[in-house]
Amino acid sequence: MNKSGKLFIVPTPIGNLKDMTLRSIEVLNSVDYILAEDTRTSQPLLQHYNIQTPLKSYHSFNEHYILQNILIDLKNNKNIALISDAGTPAISDPGYLIVKHCIDNNVKVECLPGPTAFIPALVCSGKPLHHFVFIGFLPIKKGRQTKLQEISLLPYTIVLYESPHKLLKTLNDLKNIFGAEKPIGISREISKIFEEHLRGSIEEMIQHFTKHLPKGEMVIVI
């Protein structure tokens, strides 16, 4: 019989603090400790919900080193939650490695349903959603062109994450691959005060963001 504890993957809001589910609060209150991508970033959320569970750091720079200790704690019947700075851990955030290790070591993993940026962006894009491909961030340099070529051949709706300061460069790269007239969607600041869903050709988006400096977090849907 498996007597280990459980690893809970807990999504947190991507802007609006009210997007925290009741079950996420319950789990974060009940676990032995919380692994957080950045403990300072998570503090306001945890304080808002009066969650006083001890916090430990878990990020892409230390995950390889602390993985074994986390596994020992889980095997010793401790329940642990993983949160990232925003949204669902392991979606363009740390988390994959610990989930894989738990599965390989017969430790139960539960991922709570909750906030993630790409679902609202996809739904609001108005693009067909029976098949879509989540790419996340494009490689910055090495492999970027290969990845762009690869996605240009996919007969599916494609989702990319992008930061505001790289948006115009990415739109220009997409223009070279898909052509200026390709219709896309850009969702900005989802669940925040200045939430915006723009739809138009790649060229129109380039014109728009040349006039209005890109600000906030972005999802591109092609």
Q: In what order do the strands lie in the sheet with 33-36?
A: 55-57, 33-36, 80-83, 6-9, 108-111
Greatest C-alpha distance within the chain: 62
Q: Applying CB under 6 A, does 94 fall inside the site for ligand SAM? A: no
Residue closer to ligand SAM, measured from CB, 5 or 15 = 15
CA distance 113 to 94: 17
Residue 194, burial from CB neighbour count under 10 angstroms (0-12, 13-18, 19+): exposed
For the CB of residue 63, give the shortest distance to ligand SAM in the complex, in Å. Answer: 15
* Residue span binding ligand SAM (CB under 6 A) among the ranges 42-50, 79-87, 141-149, 201-209: 79-87
Q: Applying CB under 6 A, does 116 fall inside the site for ligand SAM? A: yes
Q: How many residues does the chain have?
A: 222
Q: Applying CB under 6 A, does 41 fall inside the site for ligand SAM? A: no
Cα-trace Rg, the chain: 19
Q: Applying CB under 6 A, does 158 fall inside the site for ligand SAM? A: no
Query: Restricting to residues 171-200, which ones interact with ligand SAM according to CB under 6 A?
Result: 187-192
* Residue span binding ligand SAM (CB under 6 A) among the ranges 40-48, 62-70, 85-93, 127-135: 85-93
**Under 8 Å between Cβ of 38 and 82:** no
Residue closer to ligand SAM, measured from CB, 37 or 73 = 37
Torsion of CA 18, 94, 123, 208, to 10 degrees: 100
Residue closer to ligand SAM, measured from CB, 5 or 206 = 206
Where does this chain bind ligand SAM (CB under 6 A)?
A: 14-15, 84, 86-88, 91-93, 116-118, 161-163, 187-192, 217-219
